[in-house]
Amino acid sequence: MKRKLLLLDLALAALMGASGWRLCQNWGTARARERMVLGKVVKPLAPPPLSDLPAVRPLTAAGYGEVAQKMLFSKDRNPTVIVVVEVKEKPMPPLPVLHGVVDVGDGPVAILKVNANSQDHGFRPGDDVGEFKLVAVNSKEIVFHWDDKVVKKTLEELMDKTAAQQAPAVETTPRPPAAAPAPPPSSGRPEPGASMGGDLKACQPSDNSPAGTVVDGLRKVIAPTPFGNTCRWEPAK
């Protein structure tokens, strides 16, 4: 056991000696390299040629215009005037005048006047009424389309009130009922009666021709309703 320990001590001593010798050799090599580097004379480079400085221009007030225009705390110094153009909305023309709504079984027909100087005509949804377009109509309201806008009004708002204002006062004294006029004598040929607005005409009481009769480009139409049959003449298609 002691022999092994002795051999181990000798091996460690030899290793330490070899390490010391190697360290001393590396230190000597480093010192030699240091002397070689520090002892080298470096030749300085020639300085670059000096150029003349640019001439200084005289100061002018116009050269500082951008500074004044971009002053954050004084916006009124900006010479650019911003003009705000106000776009005025196109005024809507007067609405058509309503005289009534008729529905004889094939859809409502609005009796309208485009303006005060025009005649009343029958218009169906989809027809143009002056600058307006009739979109829908029923027993309570009517809808127009104008300039990408939808105009909805009640029938009472569009009713022609001039006739009611110009009508004479109603007499309070009752009058005896007038005798009903005798019906006109029948000519034997079916003929349309008075105009109902637009291209529609009423039937005469003495007209006994069947439905589908065509006279002067008009066709007779008889439509049943809960209150009885209705009769009219419309353009033959």
- Which tokens in the block code for residue 229? 């049959």
- With a CB cutoff of 8 Å and minimum separation 6, the contacts of 196 are 102, 122, 202, 232
Which of the four pLDDT bands, split at 50, 70 and 90, describes residue 142? very high
Tens digits of per-residue pLDDT, 164-221? 555 444 444 455 554 444 444 444 567 777 777 777 888 887 778 888 788 888 888 8
Structure tokens at 42: 């470096």
* Stretch 21-26: mean pLDDT: 91
Residue for token digits 């809960």? 226
pLDDT in tens, 104-135: 777 888 888 887 778 888 898 989 988 899 99
User: Whole-model pTM above 0.75?
Assistant: no
| Alpha carbons 186 and 86: distance in angstroms, whole number | 68
**Residue 165 or residue 56, greater confidence:** 56
* Residue 221: both structure tokens together: 């139409």
One-character DSSP codes across 55-99: PPPPP-GGGGHHHHHT-TT-GGG-------PPPPPPPPPPPPEEE
Task: Name all domains of the chain by residue range, CATH numbers in brackets.
Answer: 97-164 (2.30.30), 189-237 (no CATH)
Amino acid at 9: D
What's the confidence (pLDDT) of residue 203?
85
pLDDT band at 144; cut points 50, 70, 90: very high
Please check whether residue 158 is in contact with residue 95, taking contact to mean a CB–CB distance below 8 angstroms. yes
Contact 83, 89 (CB under 8 A): no
Tens digit of each residue's pLDDT (9 = 90 or more) over 29-49? 999 998 888 888 888 888 888
> Who has greater pLDDT, 226 or 150?
150
Q: What confidence score (pLDDT) does residue 165 get?
A: 54
Q: What is the pLDDT of residues 61-103, one digit of tens each?
A: 878 777 777 777 766 666 677 778 887 888 888 888 888 888 8
Length of the chain: 237
Instruction: Output the pLDDT for position 27.
Output: 92
